[in-house]
Amino acid sequence: MKRNPLVPYYLIMVLGLVLVFFLGIKGIGDAKEIAKEKEGGDQEQAEEFDPEQYAQGTCISCHGENLEGSGSIPSLHGTGLSKDEIADILTNGKGNMPAGLVPADNIDQMAEWLADLK
């Protein structure tokens, strides 16, 4: 018996077309969910922002594991700065502290948390 050597390629092509078709239909079905995430995603992020968790992920690289600072890097405990002063530093940077590390929507929450940190 001789078999046509092109049959496996035709089967792979058909399988590929079927996958593209069904994945396209699934994408169309998920488009509404994706649009809702884009519209309300920013609000959910702002509500879920945890300053302490953010500090543990971002600030410890310079300020140390316990945010106590080292050398020319100041401690974040008991800074004596007001919430507005801290927000200004987070927004504009100061000294070794670069601007823009904290997302603009969350600066007030982070400044309040740092002001209360003892």
Structure tokens of 96? 């070794």
Say if residues 109 and 53 touch (Cβ distance below 8 Å): no
Say if residue 97 carries a ligand binding annotation.
yes
Say if residue 110 carries a ligand binding annotation.
no
CA distance 24 to 20: 6
Say if residue 62 carries a ligand binding annotation.
yes
CA distance 1 to 112: 80
Say if residues 75 and 69 touch (Cβ distance below 8 Å): yes
Say if residue 77 carries a ligand binding annotation.
no
Burial zone of 75 (CB within 10 Å; 0-12 exposed, 13-18 middle, 19+ buried): middle
Residues in the annotated binding site:
59, 62-63, 97
Residues in the annotated binding site for heme c:
59, 62-63, 97
